[in-house]
Amino acid sequence: MSELRHDPIQRRWVIISTERGLRPMDLQPVAQPVAQPQSTCPFCRGQERHTPPEIARVGDGNGSWDARVVPNKFPALGIEGDIDRRAVGQFDRMNGIGAHEVVIETPDHATDLAETPLGRFAAVLRLYRDRLADLMRDPRLRFVIVFKNHGDAAGASLSHPHSQIIATPVTPLAVAAELQAAREHYNVKERCLFCDIMHQELAEQRRVVVADADFVTIAPYASRNPFEMMLMPRRHAHDFSRCDDAMLLALACHFREVLRRMKAALGDVPYNFILHTAPNSIHSVDVRGDYWKTLHLDWHWHFEILPRLTRVAGFEWGTGFYINPTAPEDAARYLREVDPS
Active site amino acids: 162
The rounded distance, in Å, linking the Cα atoms of 231 and 268 is: 20
The DSSP symbol for 281 reads G
Helix ranges restricted to H, 110-244: 118-135, 173-189, 193-204
The rounded distance, in Å, linking the Cα atoms of 133 and 75 is: 20
For residues 237-247, b (16+ Cβ closer than 10 Å) or e, as one string? bbbbbebeeeb
The rounded distance, in Å, linking the Cα atoms of 339 and 116 is: 18
Give the number of other Cβ atoms within 10 Å of residue 105's Cβ. Answer: 24
Strands 322-324 and 12-16: parallel
- Amino acid at site 199: H
Q: What are the Cα distances from residue 220, in Å, to 37, 185, 230, 307? A: 38, 18, 7, 13
Contact (CB, 8 A) for 175 and 287: no
The DSSP symbol for 185 reads H
Radius of gyration of the chain (CA): 20
Residues 6+ apart with CB under 8 A from 65: 45, 57, 58, 59, 107
Task: Map residue 48 onto helix, strand or coil.
Answer: helix
